[in-house]
Amino acid sequence: MKIVVLGTGYVGLVTGVCLAELGHHVVAVDVDVEKVAVLNSGKSPIYEPGLDALLDKNVSVGRFVATSDLEIAVIGADISIIAVGTPTREGHIDLSSIRDVSTQLASVLHQCSDFHVVCVKSTVLPGTTENVVGTILAHASTRQLGIDLGLCMNPEFLAEGTAVQDFMNPDRIVIGATDQKTFDLVSDMYSILGRVDFVNTSPVTAEISKYAANSFLATTISFSNEIANLCSVVGDVDVVDVMAAVRLDRRLTPLLPEGRIWPGLMSFLHPGVGFGGSCFPKDIRALVAFGSDIKSPMPILQAVLETNDNQWLLTVKMLTEELGELRGKKIGVLGLAFKPGTSDIRMSPSINILRELWASGANLIAHDPVAISNMKLELDGLPIEYSETFNDFIFDCDAIVLVTAWPEYKELENLICDRNIVVVDGRRFLDKDCFARYRGIGI
Ligand code: UGA
């Protein structure tokens, strides 16, 4: 098939490159001409394990090409996938890129006659696919839905850091199509992936499924953090022990004769400094605002956000309790990415932590294996020292704060040992018994 992907952010790029790897001819469209040039040289502008190699391979064999010319890309294509950003502005989802790209698509589709499917992959609020994208396409092109135009919403369930692997081994593919012909074409696009659970549904069900999936995971995190915060006030209790007991419920971790099954969800029942990234904070905020607009309040999700918005502050509180006045104290911040396995720092708790520590007058040094350059851009002007390694500077610090659980930070257990350095573990990742001065969320 010839497939056009509109937008080359995380979702668009991973989708486009993986579809090319499956054997399709993919044209990726982006307004950023510099990015287009980088992509056509076979290099990925983002850090995502496995993506560079696949991009390079598929550019070399001619199955993946990037362009800024939407018209040339779309003529003769079977499917156009909309993967542009849907940021939050003033608490509400901003659909301007979705509208722009739909308008451009409509004017090109006006000129050609073969059946063409427009597939929305960006996360959009209920009703957007049909009422915004569908309406624009129907008004501005001469096409008729179900006749020579197909419309569907096909959410992505990729997690950063494992996005390529997630795409190639999907747990489900949700296709919210307006008609059977569209469902058949879009499911064909994925057919080479082999056995996978397809959900053949309506666009609005697909739209809400995406929000519901992310809201559920984020709720689990804030739930764990709320219990953690309770434990830290009760005293003489560690939330890690509490959660270990909760997880042993056979309805969470089924007990089979051959042993227990440990679903991936169990990693979300774990305390920490809260969730970040480009998805959970944005999606949940957008859904809460949508619920309020349609007079269907979402108090649980509001509380999920509130707990999360305050969670990072606990690291600063623990540092202050241990060190007193932070002015002039040297503090090492370990981990800048919003989670391990990515260089993405969007909505990372480390941003708030660094800003707050700086405002308190602390001297800051920070480490991350891959996200330093992104944080330098984000906190341009703040006097933070960045280091490519951490096992040298930690000994000069009064305290270390672990914000992202990169595996290499396990080394701290041997390095710091019984030294008089405060260790604040924002992810409950380290063995508390290995340190003389350990503080963790939920103890
Ligand atoms: C998330 C979902 O997991 C994907 O299924 C979804 O497709 C994606 O959003 C999206 O909407 O595009 P992602 O944001 O890449 O993926 O990362 P997660 O691994 O889910 O982590 C999200 C945040 O939760 C991170 O800040 C992570 O540190 C935090 N987290 C995760 C916790 O605080 N505790 C946990 O136990 C697990």
What's residue 144's pLDDT? 83
Q: Flag whether 206 is in a domain.
A: no
User: 295 and 415 share a domain?
Assistant: yes
Task: Tell me how far CA of residue 98 lies from CA of 33, 81, 186, 276, 333, in angstroms.
Answer: 19, 11, 20, 24, 38
User: 246 and 193 share a domain?
Assistant: no
How many structural domains compose the chain? 2
What's residue 60's pLDDT? 97
User: Which one has a higher pLDDT value, 342 or 351?
Assistant: 351
In the chain, % of residues over pLDDT 90: 90
CA 213 to ligand 1 centroid distance, Å: 11
Q: Flag whether 64 is in a domain.
A: yes
What's residue 292's pLDDT? 95
> What are the residues facing 79 on neighbouring strands?
3, 117
What's residue 110's pLDDT? 79
What's residue 257's pLDDT? 94
User: 278 and 180 share a domain?
Assistant: no
Among protein residues, the one with the nearest Cα to ligand 1's atom 32 is: 275
In the chain, % of residues over pLDDT 70: 100
pLDDT digits (tens, 9 = 90+) for 72-89: 999 999 999 999 999 888
Residue 248 has pLDDT above 90, yes or no: yes
For the segment 377-386, the average pLDDT, to the nearest whole number, is 95
For the segment 253-278, the average pLDDT, to the nearest whole number, is 95
Cβ proximity of 367 and 333 under 8 Å: yes
User: 184 and 297 share a domain?
Assistant: no
Q: Flag whether 207 is in a domain.
A: no
Q: Flag whether 212 is in a domain.
A: no
Residue 138 has pLDDT above 90, yes or no: no
| Among 18, 119, 231, 279, the one annotated catalytic | 279
CA 154 to ligand 1 centroid distance, Å: 19
| Confidence bin at 164 (pLDDT 50/70/90) | very high
User: 193 and 242 share a domain?
Assistant: no
For the segment 190-206, the average pLDDT, to the nearest whole number, is 94
What does pLDDT average to over the chain? 95
| Confidence bin at 6 (pLDDT 50/70/90) | very high
Please give the residue range of the domain that contains residue 408. Answer: 238-440
Q: Which of the residue ranges 71-75, 158-162, 328-332 has the most confident prediction, judged by mean pLDDT?
A: 328-332
Strands 116-120 and 149-153 turn out to be: parallel
User: 167 and 278 share a domain?
Assistant: no
Among protein residues, the one with the nearest Cα to ligand 1's atom 20 is: 159
| Confidence bin at 46 (pLDDT 50/70/90) | confident
Last residue of a domain, which of 201, 224, 259? 201
Which among 109, 112, 132, 111 has a CA at the least distance from the CA of 120? 132
Last residue of a domain, which of 177, 201, 225? 201
Q: Flag whether 227 is in a domain.
A: no
Strands 149-153 and 173-177 turn out to be: antiparallel
What's residue 260's pLDDT? 96
Ligand 1 binding site (Cβ under 6 Å of any ligand atom) = 156-160, 214, 217, 221, 267-268, 270, 272, 274-277, 279-280, 338-339
User: 195 and 251 share a domain?
Assistant: no
Tell which atom from ligand 1 comes closest to the C-alpha of 155: 7
For the segment 312-321, the average pLDDT, to the nearest whole number, is 98
For the segment 369-396, the average pLDDT, to the nearest whole number, is 95
pLDDT digits (tens, 9 = 90+) for 100-126: 999 999 999 877 778 999 999 999 999
User: 295 and 394 share a domain?
Assistant: yes
User: 115 and 261 share a domain?
Assistant: no
What's residue 328's pLDDT? 97
Residue 141 has pLDDT above 80, yes or no: no
What's residue 116's pLDDT? 94
Last residue of a domain, which of 201, 217, 248? 201
Q: Crossing angle for the helix pair 51-60 and 33-40, nearest 10 degrees? A: 80
Q: Which long-range contacts (CB under 8 A, 24 or more apart) does 296-305 make?
A: 300/219, 301/215, 301/218, 301/219, 303/222, 304/215, 304/218, 304/219, 304/221, 304/222, 305/222, 305/281
CA 407 to ligand 1 centroid distance, Å: 17
What's residue 93's pLDDT? 86
Question: Is 112 marked active-site?
Answer: no
Q: Flag whether 230 is in a domain.
A: no
Cβ proximity of 48 and 342 under 8 Å: yes
Q: Flag whether 214 is in a domain.
A: no
Give dist(CA 117, CA 59) in Å, integer: 24
User: 29 and 152 share a domain?
Assistant: yes
Tell which atom from ligand 1 comes closest to the C-alpha of 158: 7
CATH number of the domain within which 381 lies: 3.40.50.720
What's residue 34's pLDDT? 95
| Confidence bin at 418 (pLDDT 50/70/90) | confident
Using only the alpha carbons of the chain, give its radius of gyration.
24
CA 339 to ligand 1 centroid distance, Å: 8
What's residue 194's pLDDT? 82
pLDDT digits (tens, 9 = 90+) for 407-417: 999 999 999 98
CA 286 to ligand 1 centroid distance, Å: 16
| Confidence bin at 146 (pLDDT 50/70/90) | confident
Best residue among 154, 174, 208, 221 to mutate for probing ligand 1's pocket (most ligand atoms within 8 Å of CB) is 221
Tell which atom from ligand 1 comes closest to the C-alpha of 339: 28
What's residue 387's pLDDT? 97
| Confidence bin at 279 (pLDDT 50/70/90) | very high
* DSSP-derived secondary structure for 107-124: HHHTT--S-EEEEE-S--
Tell which atom from ligand 1 comes closest to the C-alpha of 161: 15
Task: Compute the C-alpha angle 80/85/91, nearest 5°.
Answer: 140
Total-model pTM:
0.94
Give the Cβ contact number of residue 299 at 10 Å: 9
What's residue 384's pLDDT? 97
User: 78 and 132 share a domain?
Assistant: yes
Q: Flag whether 210 is in a domain.
A: no
User: 345 and 420 share a domain?
Assistant: yes
Tell which atom from ligand 1 comes closest to the C-alpha of 156: 7
Best residue among 51, 86, 160, 171 to mutate for probing ligand 1's pocket (most ligand atoms within 8 Å of CB) is 160
What's residue 114's pLDDT? 84
Best residue among 11, 14, 279, 348 to mutate for probing ligand 1's pocket (most ligand atoms within 8 Å of CB) is 279
What's residue 88's pLDDT? 83
